[in-house]
Amino acid sequence: MIRLAVFDLDGTLVDSRLDLCLAVNHALRALGLPERSLEEVSSFVGEGAALLVERAVAPRVELREAALAAWWEHYQVHLLDHTVLYPGLRELLAALPFPLAVHTNKPGRLARRILEGLGVAERFVEVLGGDEAPRKPSPEGTRALLARRGVAPAEAVLVGDSLVDLALARAVPLRFVAVGWGLVAPERLAAAGAPSPARSAAELAAALGAA
């Protein structure tokens, strides 16, 4: 029986790739560096804003802090220009019969602004950001979240799209449900031992026992 489902954000609930890419390229232009493609930036996402920007400026790591400041300047204004929920997820979130939470490596205040802007924030009992607990795949944040809710790991499930999420689920440990529409190819998830990913909201509902 599921008493709490914990969702990743970017690549799982929301497609934020274009807004993240535009913010990265704003920062790169500000520093006179070449822009990155959408595919490149997408591959950098998943371990927090600082690592995203560090990977984008590589090998010029000495520019990381200046680039991060420029990224913040742009992203906090434009984080909802193109970001959307993945198809069918609004309806799925409304229909799931148990409490939901978000644990993301994105800064918490930005994650909450996105969920509020997309009209689904009230569906989550808690949103935990990467600046509010040790970043995933450290299990500390998720374990603390579960403890605050009085939920044992065996009564929870983690829904995510990445190898970071898979590693987190193993570290807690708790059941992992993978989605196949996110930032990591389903083949990479499978090669790492993840269960067969859900490829639609309907398949995710079935994996969560709510179809």
pLDDT digits (tens, 9 = 90+) for 119-135: 999 999 999 999 999 99
Query: 169 is in which domain, residue-wise?
Result: 4-15+84-208
Active site residues: 8
Say whether both 189 and 133 belong to one domain. yes
pLDDT in tens, 1-28: 899 999 999 999 999 999 999 999 999 9
CATH number at residue 161: 3.40.50.1000
Q: Which of 110, 52, 85, 102 is nearest to 181 (CA)?
A: 85
E-only strand ranges, the chain: 4-7, 14-15, 84-85, 100-103, 124-128, 156-160, 175-178
Quick one: 66 and 158 in the same domain?
A: no
Residues 45 and 139 in one domain: no
Domain closes at, from 76, 110, 125: 76
In this structure, the answer to whether residues 148 and 115 fall within a common structural domain is yes
Residues 100 and 202 in one domain: yes
Q: What is the CATH number of the domain that holds 65?
A: 1.10.150
Among candidate residues 50, 76, 102, the one where a domain is terminated = 76
Determine if the pTM surpasses 0.75.
Answer: yes
Burial letters for 20-44: b for 16+ Cβ neighbours within 10 Å, e otherwise?
Answer: bbbbbbbbbebeebeebeeeebbeb
For the chain, what is the domain count?
2
Condensed to tens digits (0 to 9), the pLDDT of residues 47-79 reads: 778 888 999 999 998 999 999 999 999 999 999
Report pLDDT for 51: 87
